[in-house]
Amino acid sequence: MKLIIASNNAHKVTEIKAILSPFFNEIVTLKEAGIDIDVEENGTTFCENAVKKATEILAAVPFADAAISDDSGLMVDALNGAPGVYSARFAGDGHDDEANNRKLVEMLKNVPQDKRTGRFVSAVALARREKDTLTAEGSVEGIILNEGRGENGFGYDPLFYYEPLNKTFAELTADEKNSLSHRKKALTALYELLSKEV
């Protein structure tokens, strides 16, 4: 069974291989497969985007038995779930993490600490030939700070305070973050779904 990962992100690839290798004897990235596809993520939910990407990649790669994709982002309660699926382009197309973080801080400047709750959400989709597409989600609860802390991570990690460890996601070590991340939870849930089929 050959699985293609709809990503070239080294960390995602390592995580997916570690969790799903019992079900696939070959796992390759788009780059390793010599595929260059840019799927437009225009869904209204993380799950819709993940499914669209996985199914389009599988359709374009005839030698793969399955394709896996994920979509993730930050949902803030005081902003009715924003930035959500627009997390990467919250400050507009072509903007970077810094601009996105600035916009988030500005929008929450008058929101009291106890109302600054939010979560990182990840949806994964596994598209397969002759079988239903499997989906799973994972999330991590946190509080959005007024200013960033920490040098690790990316995106909204410096503003995302994780109470159980008294650290922002940008202050966690790679091992700490990987052990509790929203994507890890989603992949673990997908693993459980696959295990039930065996």
Q: Tell me, what CATH number does 125's domain have? A: 3.90.950.10
CA angle 87, 100, 44 (to 5 degrees): 20
Model confidence, pTM: 0.91
Residue range of the domain that includes 162: 2-197
> pLDDT tens across 112-151, in order?
989 999 999 999 999 999 899 999 999 999 999 999 999 9
Q: Are 117 and 141 in contact (CB under 8 A)?
A: yes
**Residues known to be catalytic:** 71
CA angle 160, 54, 186 (to 5 degrees): 40
As a whole number of angstroms, the distance between CA 155 and CA 168 comes to: 12
- CA dihedral (176, 2, 68, 156) positive or negative: positive
As a whole number of angstroms, the distance between CA 4 and CA 15 comes to: 14
Domain count, the chain: 1
> pLDDT tens across 19-60, in order?
999 999 999 998 888 888 888 888 899 999 999 999 999 999
